């Protein structure tokens, strides 16, 4: 969440070679393109019409959801029930909030790799749960199994915000206002700017890879997740 670095995969780099990576890549069209500039299709960023369909992007991430806790040393891997609850929570919460569920999934994977037992981070602000929300109430750090109610709370905190800070819903509205000031453009541009705001708390709308002290390639990473990126090597050069 804002004002922090996204959690870095530690064990994944060491263990991913054990996965059938080539098979997953071939099935999911897994690749990474490094995007720079303002998030518009004119700058080369993928328009929303080119995002991977919900069912496909979800299925592409299920193998990660099944193993990300263990990869990172965060406890037991997600159970089938926990993964189903994540799916349900994203779909049930994103719609009323006016968000594309694929965007919520992409940010969740960026923040926590989808591990329900992800640790709480604190870089001046407490960031718990699947969405590493702004001082949210939802967390299953060190808890197994993770109750369905907590999974929904973690997604809710990240999507609609908390009493301490904005969620994706508010940040997308903020980004849309600024994008309109810049002359409009595809709605996907506002999503990428909202991702930048979620990570950094502010944005250089002309250069979304300006991390402003946080993760430089965060918006580019989210754009890639929305088009099917999962395990391919990052080409980030920021």
pTM of the complete model: 0.88
Q: What is the pLDDT of residue 184?
A: 55
Predicted pLDDT at 183: 59
Q: Could you tell me the residue ranges of all domains in the chain?
A: 22-225
Asked if the 22-225 domain carries CATH number 2.40.50, the reply is no
Contacts for 127-132 with beta carbons within 8 Å, 24 or more apart?
A: 127/1, 127/4, 128/154, 128/157, 129/153, 129/154, 129/157, 129/158, 130/86, 130/154, 130/155, 130/158, 131/1, 131/107, 131/155, 131/157, 131/158, 131/159, 131/167, 132/1, 132/4, 132/6, 132/7, 132/158
pLDDT at 55: 97
Q: Quick one: pLDDT at residue 19?
A: 42
Q: What is the pLDDT of residue 8?
A: 43
pLDDT tens, residue order, the chain (238 aa):
655 544 543 333 333 333 444 443 433 479 999 999 999 999 999 999 999 999 999 999 999 999 999 999 999 999 999 999 999 999 999 999 999 999 999 999 999 999 999 999 998 899 999 999 999 999 999 999 999 999 999 999 999 999 999 999 999 999 999 987 665 555 799 999 999 999 999 999 999 999 998 999 999 999 999 999 999 999 998 7
Q: What is the pLDDT of residue 238?
A: 74
């Amino acid at each position: 969440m804002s004002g922090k670095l996204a959690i870095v995969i530690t064990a994944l780099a060491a263990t991913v070679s054990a996965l059938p990576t080539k098979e997953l890549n071939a099935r999911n069209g897994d690749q990474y393109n490094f995007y720079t500039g303002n998030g518009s299709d004119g700058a080369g960023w993928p328009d929303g019409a080119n995002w991977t369909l919900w069912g496909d992007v979800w299925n592409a991430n299920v193998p990660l959801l099944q193993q990300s806790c263990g990869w990172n040393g965060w406890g037991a891997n997600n159970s089938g029930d926990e993964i189903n609850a994540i799916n349900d929570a994203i779909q049930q919460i994103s719609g009323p909030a006016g968000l594309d569920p694929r965007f919520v999934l992409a940010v969740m994977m960026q923040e926590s790799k989808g591990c329900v037992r992800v640790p709480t981070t604190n870089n001046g602000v407490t960031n718990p749960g699947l969405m590493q929300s702004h001082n949210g109430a939802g967390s299953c750090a060190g808890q197994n199994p993770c109750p369905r109610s907590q999974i929904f709370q973690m997604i809710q905190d990240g999507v609609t915000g908390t009493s301490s800070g904005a969620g994706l819903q508010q940040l997308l509205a903020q980004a849309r206002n600024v994008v309109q000031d810049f002359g409009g453009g595809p709605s996907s541009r506002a999503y990428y700017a909202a991702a930048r705001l979620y990570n950094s708390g502010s944005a250089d709308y002309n250069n979304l890879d300006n991390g402003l002290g946080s993760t430089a390639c965060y918006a580019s990473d989210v754009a890639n997740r929305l088009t099917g990126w999962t395990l391919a090597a990052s080409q980030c050069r920021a």
